Structure 1
Amino acid sequence: MEPLQCGTSPIVGFRFSLHPMTGDFIQVIKGALRETDTTNVWMHTDDVSTVIRGRQLHVFNAAKSIALHAAKTGVHVAMSGTFSVGCPGDSAGDAYLDKGDELLNTDTSKQYVSSQFALYPMNNPDYMAIIYREVERAKALGVYNDSMHYASGIHGDIHDVFAFYEEAFANARTSENAHLVMTVALSINSPSHGGGSGA
C-alpha cells in the first residue's frame, strides 16, 4: 500500500489540551466539552488530549467555544494545541466535510485572552514572508501583543483572537503548498493579566 501524500486532505484538525489551575480540573474540562455543541466535528478524547476534525469553520468554532466555556468557570485556564490541514492522517472525520455553514456555537460573551501562536507553512520556501505578513495583519487588527522567540503574542477579546487565528490559518495555505501547521497557546483568567481581563 502506497503512503498517502500530504496536501490531499481538506480536513482541518485541532489537537489540544486544557489545563485548568484548580483541583476540580476534571469538571472544568468535561464541562467545557459538554457545553460545546460538537455536532459538526469529529471528536475524540484520550488521557492526554482531545482532537476535533472537520471543516475549518466548525473546528475553529468548536475550539473557541471550548475555551470560552472553560473560561466561564472563572479559574485560570491554559489551552495549548495544534491546528493542521493538508495531510491525510486518519479518515475518521471525512463524513463531517458535508456539514453546512451554520455555526452551532454562538455565545458572544466577552473574555480577555493572552496567547501565542506560530505558523509552519510546510514545504513553502517563502514561509518567512507568510509569517511576517500575518504578524503585520495582527498589528493592523489591534490583536498583536509582542515578538518573542519561536512565537508571536496575540491578545484581546477571545472572538477577535480566534477570528485572527482562523484567518491567518486560511491565508497561510496555498494550493501549491497545502500542508499547514499552526500552534497556539492561550492563557485565560490569569492573575498576571491585571487590568486587561475584559471579562
Structure 2
Amino acid sequence: MECGLSPIVGFRFSLHPMSNEFVSIIKGALQNTDVSNVWMHTDDVSTVIRGKQVHVFNVAKSITLNAAKTGVHVALSGTFSAGCPGDTTADVYLDKGDEVTNKDETNQYVSSQFALYPMNNPNYMDVIYREIEHAKVKGVFNESMHYASGIHGDIHDVFAYYEAAFSRARSEEHKHLVMTLSMSINSPSHGDDLHA
C-alpha cells in the first residue's frame, strides 16, 4: 500500500449457514478465530471488523473457514472498505504488528463473486479489467457476469487474490475503495470435481 493511504480497512459481513444450528455455527466461527488484532462489533444483522488490512483479511478468512469446516453449506456476503472519510474508530489497532494470528491451512473450495468500486476514479473500468486479468493469471477466475466477476478455488488462494486486488485498486490519488463479496461454500451445486 502506498505511503499516505489511510491504513484502516473495514469489512462488514453476514454469515448464513444453511442449517437449523446456524446460531451455534456462527458463534463457533467467531469464537474459534483470534480477533485480538482487529476491532469487532456484532449486531443482530451483521458483524464488522476493522483495523490493519493484513489482519482484517486474515480474520475474515478465518471466520469463513471455521464456519465452512462444519461441512454445512455456508453463504457469506460482505463489503470491504478503505479510505472512508472520518474512519478512525479502530485507530488503536494500527499499532499491531503485521504477524497474523490465524494460521489454519485447511483446504476448502469456495465459489465467490466480487465487484470493485474505486471511488471517484474516472478510470475505474481500467482498474476492474486489470484485476480480472490478475485473477486469470492466478488461476482463480471463474467467469464474467453482470455486475460482478466470479472467483473460485481454495479459500487461501481466493482470499490472497482479494487482498492483493484490494491493495492494487487503491492509489494515493484515489484512496476510497469499496469491494463487495459474495461467497458460497459446501454447496451441493459445486460438484465433487471442483474440490480437487
Length-normalised TM-score, structure 1: 0.94
* Corresponding residue SS for 1:102: coil
1:1-199 to structure 2, matched below 5 A, reads 9-198=6-195
SS in 2 for 1:192: coil
Distance 2:165 2:135 in 1: 9
Contact 1:112–1:196 under 8 Å retained in 2? no
Separation in 1, partners of 2:56, 2:176 = 17
* Structure 2 gap segments, 5+ residues each: none
Superposed CA offset, 1:22-57 (max 9, x none): 000000000000000000000000000000000000
State the alpha-carbon separation in 2 of the partners of residues 69 and 93 from structure 1. 24
Cα distance between partner residues in 1 of 2:22 and 2:56: 23
Q: In the alignment, which residue of structure 2 is the partner of 1:3?
A: none
CA distance in 2, matches of 1:188, 1:23: 17
Partners of 1:9 and 1:88 within 8 A in 2: no
After TM superposition, the runs of 4+ consecutive aligned structure 1 residues lying more than 4 A away are: none
Give me the whole-angstrom Cα distance separating, in 2, the residues matched to 1:176 and 1:93.
23
Equivalent residue of 2:59, what SS?
helix
Q: What RMSD in Å do the two structures reach over aligned CA positions?
A: 1.3
Partners of 1:42 and 1:96 within 8 A in 2: yes
8 Å contact from structure 2 (residues 8, 87) kept in 1? no
Letter in 2 for 1:21: M
Q: Are 1:83 and 1:183, in contact at CA under 8 Å, matched by a contact in 2?
A: yes
User: 1:195, CA displacement in angstroms?
Assistant: 1.4
Amino acid paired to 2:85: P
Does the CA contact (< 8 Å) of 2:5 and 2:172 recur in 1? no
Measured against aligned partners, the alpha-carbon deviations of 1:127-173 in whole angstroms (never above 9, x if no partner) come to 00000000011001100000000000000000000000000000000
SS of the aligned residue for 1:124 comes to: coil
Tell me the distance in 1 between the aligned counterparts of 2:120 and 2:43. 31
TM-superposition CA deviations, 1:68-105 (whole Å, max 9, x none) = 00000000000000000001345321100110011100
CA distance in 2 between partners of 1:185 and 1:196 (Å) = 21
The TM-score with structure 2 as length reference comes to: 0.95
Does the Cα contact within 8 Å between 2:18 and 2:74 map onto a contact in 1?
A: yes
Aligned length: 193
Q: 1:4 aligns to what?
A: none
